Amino acid sequence: MVKHSSEGIVPWPEQDAERYRGAGYWEDRPLGTQILEAADRVPDHIAVVDAADGTRMSYAELVDRADAAAERMLAMGLRRDDRVMVVLPNGWQFIVFTLACLRSGVIPVMALPAHRQYELRFLSNLAEARAFVAADAVKGFDYQDLAEELRAEVPTLEWAVISGAARGGNLTLEELLAPGDDPEGARARLDRDRPEGDDPALFLLSGGTTGLPKLIVRTHNDYVHNIKATTAVSALDEDSVYLVAMPVSHNFPLACPGVLGALLLGARVISVPSPNPAKIFPVIAAESVTDTAVVPAVAQKWIEFEQEHRTGNLESLRAVQVGGSRMPDELARKVRSVLGCTLQQVFGMAEGLINMTRLDDPEEVICTTQGRPVSEADEVRIVDPLMEDLPDGSPGAILTRGPYTPRGYYSAPEANAKSFAPGGWYSSGDIVERRSDGNLVVQGRDKDMINRGGEKVSAEEIESLVHQIPGLGIVAAVSMPDEVLGEKVCLYAQVPAGGTLTLERVQRHLKDIGVAEYKIPEKVVVVEEIPKTKVGKIDKKALRVDVAERMSDES
């Protein structure tokens, strides 16, 4: 029996909930309903363009397909509050299916196409997923084989819904998302049993500091406020054309303001499968793209490509949001001069708080800070290790709470005890400095994390998995610098006399157990002894210095 999601959710205190409602931050109107209201204003406008297959979909067709799919999901046996694993790449199918979930009350768990058996088995069991939704294959990886493995290992998993060539007993996603026969009737029926404002809209994934991802519950109320607050700061409007080039299941391109923000306005969404500038720049020109969001590594590639080729394809670009990790100041200064648009730096977390520079900020603020909170109701503290508040200008750990920052992870009491301080303050593990003008400057992290192009990798998780290889002594995973991605994973290892450890062996082991590709080390250093601090802990600061020196010597 699948338990109700409320059994795993940490609610906001009632007094805070009342305050957020009273101030209008929580509207008690579900996200799907509000997107349909936007569609009513501009039914003939193009809502979605899929650059991969040429699909162009009006708002009228988008909501018709979404409502028809919502009713088909309910008819096949899914129920409101059931969870489904979504492992879809960018494309119109992701957008329509997500809207169908928002309309039906079925809760999508936003996994990544990069995830494999190891992560998806854990997440499916934790969420008690009843369906698995994926492409047939992406970059040579067969998700239908994976679906069969998961169905054998996850007791609640009943259906696999496949985009593309479904086989066996799997359902075809495109058939589920086909237009309906009775759009008005479907809308009326779904409206009568629509989700409540406090119901979960979707589950996002945490970066995970000590291992596997945690599930972040985002309700309709808090997510609508998240979207609208970031929309106001980003200045998107009905005439905007938003390009989604990052994996859309990330909170950043999905809702900051992202795809969902564009749909709430009646704007146009352009979906592309990858951020490759050679392929994307002509799309930007052809579709008159005005706004997009990328990580620093992608922004760097775009800048280098435009400097080399002078394509002239970016004249329509108004703003590029950059987030996921801190953008180097020197790179930030090149956005306006090379790409010809305004940079909007974004520092935030799927757990809630979003900070952005403003489009009319001075260039010094835009290029050297990561912005300030988007909602007037966001509360932020900068504290020392004793949880004492620090004055502006002093680096410290950031704590936050507010109307779109949940008070706990889903069914994760131990993680909640570590990540949420008394009073509901969420600790992201980031070290920041708040300037006198309120803008934040990200200085690093206080936890053992590696930020590979915006994807967070837990060093502790990698160390634990590598220890499954027989005959190893101490191992330590650390970040090593990378010009494109910012950081990559390096593994240090003590190997007993007579033993060996190669990069190929480590990579093969992790791939064999189904670990996501972005977590796999790209360098292995075998040493006689891993350095320790005075208290006997592995000295990872020394290891990071060592690997940087080794890379410098090799270059």
Q: Beta-carbon neighbour count of residue 306 at 10 Å?
A: 19
Q: Which of 353-367, 376-390, 467-481 has the lowest mean pLDDT?
A: 467-481
Domain count, the chain: 2
Could you tell me if 260 and 178 lie in one domain? yes
pLDDT band at 205 (very low <50, low <70, confident <90, very high): very high
Could you tell me if 224 and 352 lie in one domain? yes
- Mean pLDDT score of the chain: 94
pLDDT band at 346 (very low <50, low <70, confident <90, very high): very high
- Quote the pTM value: 0.87
Task: Summarize pLDDT for 23-60 with one digit per residue, the tens.
Answer: 999 999 999 999 999 999 999 999 999 999 999 999 99
Q: Which two tokens stand for residue 311?
A: 């394509």
CA 121/CA 123 separation, integer angstroms? 6
**Which of 446-463 are b and which e, b meaning 16 or more Cβ less than 10 Å from the residue's Cβ?**
bbbbbbbbbbbbbbebbb
CA 280/CA 298 separation, integer angstroms? 12
Could you tell me if 24 and 114 lie in one domain? yes
**Sheet of 475-482: strands edge to edge?**
475-482, 486-494, 523-527
Task: Summarize pLDDT for 370-416 with one digit per residue, the tens.
Answer: 999 999 999 999 999 899 999 999 989 999 999 999 999 999 999 99
What is the domain extent for residue 468? Answer: 449-554
Task: Summarize pLDDT for 99-126 with one digit per residue, the tens.
Answer: 999 999 999 999 998 899 999 999 999 9
How large a percentage of the chain has pLDDT more than 70? Answer: 97
Q: CA–CA distance from 321 to each of 223, 345, 484 (Å)?
A: 19, 6, 17
Q: What is the CATH number of the domain that holds 454?
A: 3.30.300.30
3-class SS string, 155-167: CCCCEEEEECCCC
Could you tell me if 203 and 287 lie in one domain? yes
Could you tell me if 234 and 198 lie in one domain? yes
Q: Label residue 316 exposed, middle or buried (CB < 10 Å: 0-12, 13-18, 19+).
A: middle
The reported pLDDT for the residue numbered 554 is 82
Task: Summarize pLDDT for 72-81 with one digit per residue, the tens.
Answer: 999 999 999 9
CA 8/CA 16 separation, integer angstroms? 20
Could you tell me if 409 and 518 lie in one domain? no
Domain end residue (candidates: 430, 458, 487): 430
**What is the separation of C-alpha 114 from the centre of its chain, rounded to a whole number of angstroms?**
12
> Does pLDDT of 315 surpass 50?
yes
The reported pLDDT for the residue numbered 209 is 47
Task: Summarize pLDDT for 183-203 with one digit per residue, the tens.
Answer: 999 999 999 999 999 999 999
Query: What's the whole-number mean pLDDT along residues 461-489?
Result: 88
pLDDT band at 490 (very low <50, low <70, confident <90, very high): very high
Could you tell me if 414 and 478 lie in one domain? no
pLDDT band at 536 (very low <50, low <70, confident <90, very high): low
Pairing verdict, β 523-527 and 486-494 = parallel
